[in-house]
Amino acid sequence: MNRRLGLRANFVTWLAVIVGVGLVIRVVVLALASRDLAFGDGIWYHSEAQIIGGGHGFLAPGQYVFGGRHLATAEHPPLYPSLLAIITWAGHTSVRNFQLADACFGAAGIAVMGYLGRAVAGQRVGLVAAALTAIAPNVWQYDAMVISESLLVFTLGLFLLAVFRFWDRPGLWSAAVLGVTLALATYTRVEMVFLGLVIVVPVVLWNPRLGGATVKLRAVAVAGAVTVALLAPWVVRNLTTFDGTVFLSNNLDSVIAGANCESMYSGKGLGWWTPTCNVEGLPRFGEQSVVFAKIRQRGITYATDHAGRLPVVALARAGRTWEVFQPFENIGYDGRPDAVWIASTLMFYVLAVLGVIGAVMLRRARRLVWPLAVMAPFVTAIAFLTCGLSRLRFPLDIALLVLAAVPIERLLFRSRTGVRIGTIEHRGADDGDGHDRAANDARRITEAR
């Protein structure tokens, strides 16, 4: 018992140090960052937070600011702007204060990534994953931009942590936690809702520790019911507010419109996205669901009429998302300094290589790895169907932080351990589950060598 408590205290202490260092890095970066937000989501979130904080609800920022119109919006899910609205309500409306809030979200994400890494492969891997999250420019770059990716590290990390905890200790309560964390991730970025089908359902149905089809179906039902219950208020608000049908968000409408036009199907814009596509002749101040439905249909019509180009366009979108096709062509368009853009891209390349190695090591050690690895085809499919932006890849970046930590931990502690993944043998003590599962894991790893 004393040894178990000592391991926990040691992990928490080092994790707190890493979180502190990560927060300092973010504050220093923000001190050097511009307070001028690039045209795009950063301005949208900054304006929307002030509108919500002013007690006006979720209104379209452009129409409210420039036209004084109180027209509803569901362009983005509500969690991130609502959190920023709390800061606005307290009287802090500057870009700097919002950037500092992002730094705090990022610091919370570092802590969650530490616990996620520990759940995947032990406490040292957890600390390495937290350290990578603290220093990686492709993570902290979003803080200065005031966009929801700064919060996604925390919410998606919580969801993945719940997935691994459920795999080790399944039950109805842990299924409910899956539902809660999936809803939080969806309220941050709407496409996360599809992880219910991609991850939640398989992790329940394939779980060897759940006995019988009835028990598994009950766990799926609990996770699904909790997710639906938490998302229902926002869905009901949208269904009762707009003239058109809107469930979680209508952002996909503008994405389809901006990714399917002549300039995005050839030339320098191949596979990219622009807000100037398919917007000709639209009313300046129109009800959002109606206007967005029109531009969506224009995008679908263009894609249908040019179906022969879709394979090339889809590959270009995936290439841009993975930053292997014209990775620096549009450098600077989103407000990131050139050096940050280049550093974040290079960091992704490094993490991708190390992540593949880490996935192989975990697979050989018979550890659960597919919920992290599945992020690669998940973000690729999203890119195929929408547009080519590196931001769309961020769920994969989060998974790679954990996967890359595995070979790094192996290198750092190679001389001190005789097993392939040095700290898996301590998972049971760290997590306090009281089972011999961790010892069996360590034995299998040794045999695999």
Q: Say what the pLDDT of residue 446 is.
A: 36
Q: Say what the pLDDT of residue 416 is.
A: 52
Amino acid identity of residue 190, one-letter, is: V
Q: Say what the pLDDT of residue 429 is.
A: 36
Residues 110, 131, 442: CA angle, nearest 5 degrees: 100
pLDDT in 10s for each residue of the chain, 449 residues: 555 555 677 999 999 999 999 999 999 999 999 888 888 899 999 999 999 999 999 999 988 888 888 999 999 999 999 999 999 988 888 999 999 999 999 999 999 999 999 999 999 999 999 999 999 999 999 999 999 999 999 999 999 999 999 999 999 999 999 999 999 999 999 999 999 999 999 999 999 998 889 999 999 999 999 999 999 999 999 999 999 999 999 999 999 999 999 999 999 999 999 988 988 888 777 889 999 999 999 999 999 999 999 999 999 999 999 999 988 887 878 888 899 999 999 999 999 999 999 999 999 999 999 999 999 999 999 999 999 999 999 999 999 999 999 999 999 886 454 444 444 434 443 443 333 444 344 344 333 33
| Token couple for 401 | 């932080």
Q: What burial class does residue 102 get, using C-beta atoms within 10 Å of its C-beta: 0-12 exposed, 13-18 middle, 19+ buried?
A: buried
Nearest to 143 by CA among 275, 333, 340, 292: 340
Helix ranges (H only) for 197-309 are 201-205, 213-241, 251-259, 288-305
Rounded to two decimals, the pTM is 0.91
Q: Say what the pLDDT of residue 3 is.
A: 56
- CA dist 267 and 271 (Å) reads 9
Q: What burial class does residue 6 get, using C-beta atoms within 10 Å of its C-beta: 0-12 exposed, 13-18 middle, 19+ buried?
A: exposed
282 CB neighbour count, 10 Å cutoff: 13
Query: Contact 150/194 with Cβ under 8 angstroms?
Result: no
Domain ranges of the chain: 168-244
